[in-house]
Chain A
Amino acid sequence: MKLNQSLALVAGFTAALQFATAGNITGKVTLKGTAPAEKDITGVTDAACSAGHTTPMKTRFFVVGSGGELADTVVILKGVPNAKSTGDTAAPLLIDQKGCEYVPYVGAVQTGQKILVKNSDQTMHNIHPSPANTAGGNKEENKAQFAGAADLTFTFPATENFLKFKCDVHPWMFSYITVVDHPYFAVTGKDGAFTIKDVPAGKYKIVALHRKAAPAGIEQDIEVTADGAKTDFALEAK
């Protein structure tokens, strides 16, 4: 009994020490060069889709700010010792269907973390995640969701970059979710900024993935101290 208490004490102390020496990684992702013009989405025959838009829908390959800030980039830390997925207890990621578009277009979750898909449209959708890593256990599904129906839940047990969610009723609707097996990742917003919180001090690799500008990822070295670390990425439109 005494031994168990001692072990628990040591584990708690180690965790506390780790937390005390953990820092945040911050940074910004920018795009070098000019992004190609987005395409108009044509063939929208479902009136419920147009209802939510004042301008025609467009593709969302490059969401770039005036200073080149690049959204929808997944930034993942690699090589964190003993890093494990906390997906079971993490808050679910919500994907909404608004105006026949998935929001967010790009997201990231941990393995086992719930993804809730909501239908805010007054029309029906089908939610069709089609993973590439089926060998790892990610399962292709295709579920119907009428207007006003309850949220649908999906989880994936294996890692995968840009796992595609598709609506075949409205075939331009896509969302790309990256599945990571630890909590050290972030997705850039419209300002291109990202923050990865509570990273234990140490030397790691950090990779930035963008569907078009860096589909295989751009990798950099990073050293994290108790004060955290900062790193930026400059991706290029090919």
Chain B
Amino acid sequence: MTEPRFNPWLHRFAVLTALATLTLLGVGGLVTSHGVGMAVPDWPNTYGYNMFLFPPSKWVGGIFYEHSHRLVASGVGLLTTILAGWLWFAESRRWLRWLGVIAFFGVVLQGVLGGLRVVLFKDQIGIFHAALAQIFFTLVCALALFTSRWWTDGAGSSVPADRADGVARSAWANLRHLFLFTTILIFLQLILGATMRHQHAGLAIPDFPLAYGKLWPNMSSAAVVQYNQQRLEITAANAITPFQVGLQMVHRLTALVILVYLSAMVWRSRRREEADSRAVVKAPLSYVGGYHCAVLRKLAVFLLTLILVQASLGAWTIWSNKAADVVTAHVLIGALSLVTGVFGCLICFRRPAGNAGPVASTSQVVRPNARFSASVNL
């Protein structure tokens, strides 16, 4: 296999594509938050015009958001196509070339889904569109990571397995659990959020931390009829249902589980780090792979910070009666949380070549540029 070489311009282009995709997520979030997803009735045209020739003077009201979303999406489609082609012709890692191809088909599928949601009037397509957007953003960010110097220079090397010790294995396993479990929960949470947003029913529960003044709201049909009578919705006029009230409660509980689990794991990880530091002479992290452990611990703290911000935005979403900018920030921080979790998983599961588990030694610390290859030959 050819040794991978760092290509700075390819990496910069991948980062640009990731940033453009984050912008696209933000504009898409504004479309749903403002309730204007159907403001342009036709697709792929815009009010009968070629999309790229639609006069700016007609970008009024909700058209501004929906049309901007389409244009930014076209830009992301172009960037992704170039990135996929560049990877295909310039990248030595075969799996990475194919990831580029997957990204290309992903962005095409995403565009078609967006169009079909408009012309087929299906909220379910909107939910799938939102979920795929998160997956696509994660994929493009992963492409930026895989093309980075940090990742490329760390590939292909191995450290003997017999150097691992119990402490290191335990710490590594702790971090693996942390990232894997949290990332799965974050993804489920994002799908719950997308489902709630694409019901176009506003806030199914208007208060927080209580729910209709109780720890668990009355979800009987009679109670929900009364909730609907009391709602004074300005834009999201669809009536709420017991399912939607339940969905928001599950969303709240999942957020609590993520927050508590992540806090506990980060706290445990930091205590272990302190214990390791005391046990070993001056070594900040006392095992081979310690550099990666340190990165992961920092990443875990960063993820916890994101989740705390995300929880605050969730509460603010309710207190602001779903203000569009707050909800959109909630969507974006959710996407960044998922990417952070996935990055953690990628680093965790990128183990030294030829080993079944993490490699560690209480006497060695691996330098940042130490070479690794993952269990899936990443």
Q: Which of A156-198 contact B (CB under 8 A)?
A: 164, 166, 168-172, 174
Indicate whether B47 reaches chain A with its CB closer than 8 angstroms. Answer: yes
Indicate whether B157 reaches chain A with its CB closer than 8 angstroms. Answer: no
Q: Is the CB of A48 within 8 A of B228?
A: no
Q: Is the CB of A144 within 8 A of B60?
A: no
Q: Is the CB of B234 within 8 A of A39?
A: yes
Q: Is the CB of B34 within 8 A of A128?
A: no
- Could you say which of A39, A41, A43, A126 has the most chain B C-beta atoms within 10 Å of its C-beta? A126
Indicate whether B50 reaches chain A with its CB closer than 8 angstroms. Answer: no
Inter-chain contact total with CB atoms closer than 8 Å:
80
Specify the chain A residue showing the minimal Cβ separation from B239: A215
Q: Is the CB of B229 within 8 A of A168?
A: no
- Chain B contact patch, size range: 20 to 34
Indicate whether A151 reaches chain B with its CB closer than 8 angstroms. Answer: no
Task: Give the docked Cα–Cα distance between A49 and B42 (Å).
Answer: 23
- Could you say which of B37, B38, B118 has the most chain A C-beta atoms within 10 Å of its C-beta? B38
Q: Is the CB of B60 within 8 A of A48?
A: yes
Task: Give the docked Cα–Cα distance between A48 and B232 (Å).
Answer: 25
Indicate whether A46 reaches chain B with its CB closer than 8 angstroms. Answer: yes
Specify the chain A residue showing the minimal Cβ separation from B233: A59
Q: Is the CB of A174 within 8 A of B62?
A: no
Residues of chain B within 8 A (CB-CB) of A46 are 60-61
Q: Is the CB of B232 within 8 A of A171?
A: no
Residues of chain A within 8 A (CB-CB) of B66 are 168
Q: Which of A2-59 contact B (CB under 8 A)?
A: 36, 38-39, 41-43, 45-46, 48-49, 59
Residues of chain B within 8 A (CB-CB) of A216 are 225
Min CB distance, B302 to chain A, in Å?
34
Q: Which of B45-62 contact A (CB under 8 A)?
A: 47-48, 58, 60-62
Indicate whether A225 reaches chain B with its CB closer than 8 angstroms. Answer: no
Quick one: which of A45, A48, A123, A126 contacts B38, CB cutoff 8 A? Answer: A126
Quick one: which of A43, A49, A164, A166 contacts B34, CB cutoff 8 A? Answer: A43
Indicate whether A74 reaches chain B with its CB closer than 8 angstroms. Answer: no
Min CB distance, A29 to chain B, in Å?
16
Task: Give the docked Cα–Cα distance between A144 and B45 (Å).
Answer: 12
Residues of chain A within 8 A (CB-CB) of B228 are 215
Q: Is the CB of B229 within 8 A of A144?
A: no
Q: Is the CB of B63 within 8 A of A169?
A: yes
Specify the chain B residue showing the minimal Cβ separation from A166: B237
Specify the chain B residue showing the minimal Cβ separation from A164: B237
Q: A43-B34, A48-B60, A238-B230 are in contact. Are A169 and B225 (CB under 8 A)?
A: no
Binding site for A on B (CB under 8 A): 34-42, 47-48, 58, 60-64, 66, 118, 121, 225-226, 228-230, 232, 234-235, 237, 324
| 17 cross-chain CB contacts under 8 A | A39-B232, A41-B234, A46-B60, A48-B60, A59-B232, A59-B234, A124-B60, A126-B40, A126-B41, A128-B41, A130-B121, A142-B38, A168-B39, A169-B60, A171-B34, A171-B36, A216-B225
